[in-house]
Structure 1
Amino acid sequence: MLNRLSRPAVRLVERYLPDAYLLVLLLTLVAAASAVLVERQAPIAVLRMWGGGFWSLLAFSMQMLLVLATGFMLASTPLVKGWLSRLAGLARGPGGAIVLVSLVSLAASWVNWGFGLVVGALFARELAAQVRVDYRLLVASAYSGFVVWHGGLAGSIPLTIATEGHFMVDSMGVVPTTRTIFAPYNLAIVALLFIVVPLVNRWMLPPEDEAVLHAPEPEASTPPRSGATSPAERLEDSRWLSWLVGLAGIGFLADHFIGGGGLDLNIVNQAFLMLAIVLHGTPRRLLASLQQAVRGGAGIVIQFPFYAGIMAIMVDSGLAATLSQGFVSIATERTLPFWSFIAGGVLNLFVPSGGGQWAVQAPIMVPAAEALGADVARVAMGVAWGDAWTNLVQPFWALPVLALAGLKARDIMGFCLVQMLVTGLVIGACLLWL
């Protein structure tokens, strides 16, 4: 049934979903028009909101470029390529490949979202080299594991409200992770998704005659030096410099974790980079890998500023608050976590940032939870799951995966749309009845 359902969804998306850059332009116009028509903002005020927020994600954009580059460089080292190859060898046929990449992505994303994005995409590339399987669905399966990130160890909302002095502490206090990430209902959602997501991906597998296969792009080679070399060229081929700097970086990371430091995006990128420096051995090999890695980063460079502008319009105009308040107005004590989930999912299409969403929704959701007598921790996790849920059809987070895989958003979003419908039912039902 899911295979039959996925076919029209894939055809619909392939026909009508524009390139991710065109989509962000359309979202910009929708957000601006809504701010004028719904919030009665003056056009010049909306223009200033948009322009004022346009560059607010510069640091994050650089982080995402490094997710792409450092992850690719690490995966192209002989050691990691060997590990990925052996792991891919566990797949028995196309169905096994789809299930395996789904499970690997789910596990990696639960640990850390940046780690999950990179590992899933690179593992999909390796599987495509060994198994004849629809490459679109393979990459969609790798990306679908991302749906669990906000219920995992790096979830920004549960970690924020578990931190002393967070911005809503006067209203809700400090909420320990035992009531959010490690609460029985949240662990049940994660466990169910570890079952449902791989099965749904497997059931969407098209027949062999309809499969779109893919031959991965050959990786950049590093030609050997010929003839006499200069001192600078010998330095480019030396191992001692790479090992000295790379091992120093690994030492810093060890000290960071021994001292109780956590795993955030900067630490993930630093770990990938230092390991890549050591495992490539020479600077010349590392730079050859880097040149290939950065080819797919153009989408991140051009699109993330537009999303920053959209986020500014949604927040500063009051649109995000109006949207959240609309869902709160129809909620009861039992249903508020569910409507928080739906509101978070809708808002995420325009504000694809978990921390950004919580900053907008918390001043509305927390007082509503107190007024209705609802569990404020469950309401917060409703927002978190809503943010993670609609990422399945939001190209913002898919851009690094698509760049690593060499695909466009329309290639995978038909499959992701089906996955979003199914996982939405699972998460929503759990928030209502568990």
Structure 2
Amino acid sequence: MLKLLSRPAVRLVERYLPDPYIFVLILTLVAAIAAMLVERQSPLAIMRYWGDGFWGLLSFSMQMLLVLVTGFMLASSPPVKRLLDRIARLAKSPAGAIVLVSLVSLAASWINWGFGLVIGALFAKALARQVRVDYRLLIASAYSGFVVWHGGLAGSIPLTIATEGHFTADQIGVIPTSETIFAFFNLAIVLAMFVAVPLVNRFMLPDERDSVYIDPAQLDDAPRDLGPATRPAERLEKSSWLSWLVGIPGLLFLLDHFVFRDGGLNLNVVNFLFLSLAIVLHRTPRSLLDSLHEAIKGGTGIVIQFPFYAGIMAIIMQSGLAQTLSEGFVAISTAQTLPFWSFISAGIVNLFVPSGGGQWAVQAPVMLPAAASLGADIPRVAMAVAWGDAWTNLLQPFWALPMLAIAGLKAKDIMGFCLIQLVVTGVIIALGLTFL
């Protein structure tokens, strides 16, 4: 049944899904028109919201770009690549490759979203060199594991509300991750994802006549051999001691941060960890710089599109549209159903504001007072917003850009398969938030 359903979904998406840049331009127009019709905002006011907010996420954009770049450099280091190739040899069939890449991507995304995207793509390429399998579904399976990121260790919403002095601390205080990331209901949802996502991907595997394969020779990304160093500058570029003198102190700093100073995990710490490990594992600055050159290619979409999403977020927030949408769902909620409607509303808002932290800034002022007045479980409501943000990434192509750049595919190649996952995972998350 899933194979039959995926076939028209793939054809539909291939025909009608535009390039992600076109998608963000359309979303900009939709947000502007909705603000005029629903909130009665003037075109001049909307233009000012958009222009004033266009550069509002530069700091966050840089953090996101660094997560991608440092994660790529770590994942493409020789020891990690050898490990990926060794694990890829475990797959003996197309079905086994699909299940394996799904599990690896889920595990890596639960640790950190950037690491998951990069590891998923590189591991999918390693599998494609070992097994003849539909390349579109292989990359779609790697991307589908991304759905668990906001319920994992790097989830921006649970980490935000677990931080002293966060912007809603006066309303809800500090909520430890034991009540969000490591709560029973959240761990149960994550566990269900580790079962359902690989199975759904495996059952969508097309017949051989409908499959799209890739020549393994096209996936060979071996580093260039530039020959022996002949200049002092080249010797520095190929020196291991220079990398170790910088990378090892970086790791020692993180050891001090976590063990002796009881430091927390945030984006800056994650980036520092990835960069320090990449410096050490690449051994030479030349190897690291070659990896950086490849990583930057995958970040071009973030660089050009994130300002547009910042502008959309400004329209949604300042016009009152996000508040109106959230209040509409709150109005039909009870203490029991508020997490479900928070999840649905967050999924809709995420199409326009694909940023967990930005989305929380939009929805927290509405959802938290509602949770307090209804007597709902506040950590559960916060995680409902987090899961809604992660869920519709299966429909929103923005976060697929880095993986697509690494894989050499377009969004329309994988989003048909992701559409099926959107339905299945949506049901699982909704049931877990409501009844567990």
Shift of 1:373: 2.6
Shift of 1:371: 2.5
2:258 matched to 1:248?
Answer: no
Would you say the 8 A contact 1:72–1:404 is kept in 2? Answer: no
Q: Distance in 1 between matches of 2:150 and 2:258?
A: 22
Q: Deviations over 1:191-235 (max 9, x none)?
A: 111111111111111112222122344325333436x82322332
Q: Distance in 1 between matches of 2:278 and 2:182?
A: 33
Secondary structure in structure 1 of the residue aligned to 2:224: coil
2:65 matched to 1:70?
Answer: no
Residues 285 and 113 (structure 1), Cα distance of their counterparts in 2 relative to 1, 3 Å cut: closer
2:39 maps to 39
Would you say the 8 A contact 1:67–1:400 is kept in 2? Answer: no
Residues 160 and 223 (structure 1), Cα distance of their counterparts in 2 relative to 1, 3 Å cut: closer
Secondary structure in structure 1 of the residue aligned to 2:299: helix
Shift of 1:301: 1.6
Residues 240 and 377 (structure 1), Cα distance of their counterparts in 2 relative to 1, 3 Å cut: closer
Unaligned runs of 5+ in 1: none
Q: Distance in 1 between matches of 2:403 and 2:280?
A: 24
Residues 55 and 217 (structure 1), Cα distance of their counterparts in 2 relative to 1, 3 Å cut: farther
2:230 maps to 229
**How much identity, in percent, do the aligned residues show?**
71
TM-score by length of structure 2 reads 0.94
Match 2:288 to one of 286, 289, 307: 286
Which one-letter code corresponds to 1:371 in the other structure? S
2:268 matched to 1:239?
Answer: no
Runs of 4+ in 1 over 4 A off after TM superposition: none
Residues 160 and 293 (structure 1), Cα distance of their counterparts in 2 relative to 1, 3 Å cut: closer
2:52 matched to 1:52?
Answer: yes
Q: Distance in 1 between matches of 2:65 and 2:175?
A: 33
2:341 maps to 339
1:321 maps to 323
Q: Distance in 2 between matches of 1:75 and 1:168?
A: 36
1:154-303 equivalence runs, <5 A:
154-214=154-214, 215=216, 216-219=218-221, 221-225=223-227, 229-258=230-259, 259-303=261-305
Q: Distance in 2 between matches of 1:70 and 1:173?
A: 33
Which one-letter code corresponds to 2:250 in the other structure? G
Shift of 1:4: 0.6
Q: Deviations over 1:119-161 (max 9, x none)?
A: 2222112111111111111111111111112222222222322
Q: Deviations over 1:404-425 (max 9, x none)?
A: 2222111111111110111111
Shift of 1:290: 2.5
Q: Distance in 2 between matches of 1:199 and 1:337?
A: 27
Q: What is the aligned residue count?
A: 433
1:396-411 equivalence runs, <5 A:
396-411=398-413
Shift of 1:349: 0.6
Q: Distance in 2 between matches of 1:76 and 1:34?
A: 43
1:79 maps to 79
Unaligned runs of 5+ in 2: none
Residues 118 and 262 (structure 1), Cα distance of their counterparts in 2 relative to 1, 3 Å cut: farther
TM-score by length of structure 1 reads 0.94
Residues 51 and 378 (structure 1), Cα distance of their counterparts in 2 relative to 1, 3 Å cut: same
Would you say the 8 A contact 1:106–1:116 is kept in 2? Answer: yes
Residues 367 and 199 (structure 1), Cα distance of their counterparts in 2 relative to 1, 3 Å cut: same
Would you say the 8 A contact 2:72–2:119 is kept in 1? Answer: no
Residues 61 and 217 (structure 1), Cα distance of their counterparts in 2 relative to 1, 3 Å cut: farther
Q: Which range moves more in the overlay, 424-433 or 192-201?
A: 424-433
Secondary structure in structure 1 of the residue aligned to 2:174: coil
Which one-letter code corresponds to 2:416 in the other structure? G
Residues 132 and 265 (structure 1), Cα distance of their counterparts in 2 relative to 1, 3 Å cut: farther
Would you say the 8 A contact 1:32–1:313 is kept in 2? Answer: yes
Would you say the 8 A contact 1:141–1:201 is kept in 2? Answer: yes
Shift of 1:365: 1.6
Shift of 1:51: 1.0
Would you say the 8 A contact 1:11–1:414 is kept in 2? Answer: yes
Shift of 1:163: 3.1
Residues 288 and 381 (structure 1), Cα distance of their counterparts in 2 relative to 1, 3 Å cut: closer
Secondary structure in structure 1 of the residue aligned to 2:62: helix
Residues 366 and 119 (structure 1), Cα distance of their counterparts in 2 relative to 1, 3 Å cut: same
Q: Which range moves more in the overlay, 320-329 or 143-152?
A: 143-152
Q: Deviations over 1:378-403 (max 9, x none)?
A: 22222111111111111222222222
1:25 maps to 25
Q: Distance in 2 between matches of 1:177 and 1:246?
A: 30
Shift of 1:431: 2.1
Would you say the 8 A contact 1:242–1:283 is kept in 2? Answer: yes
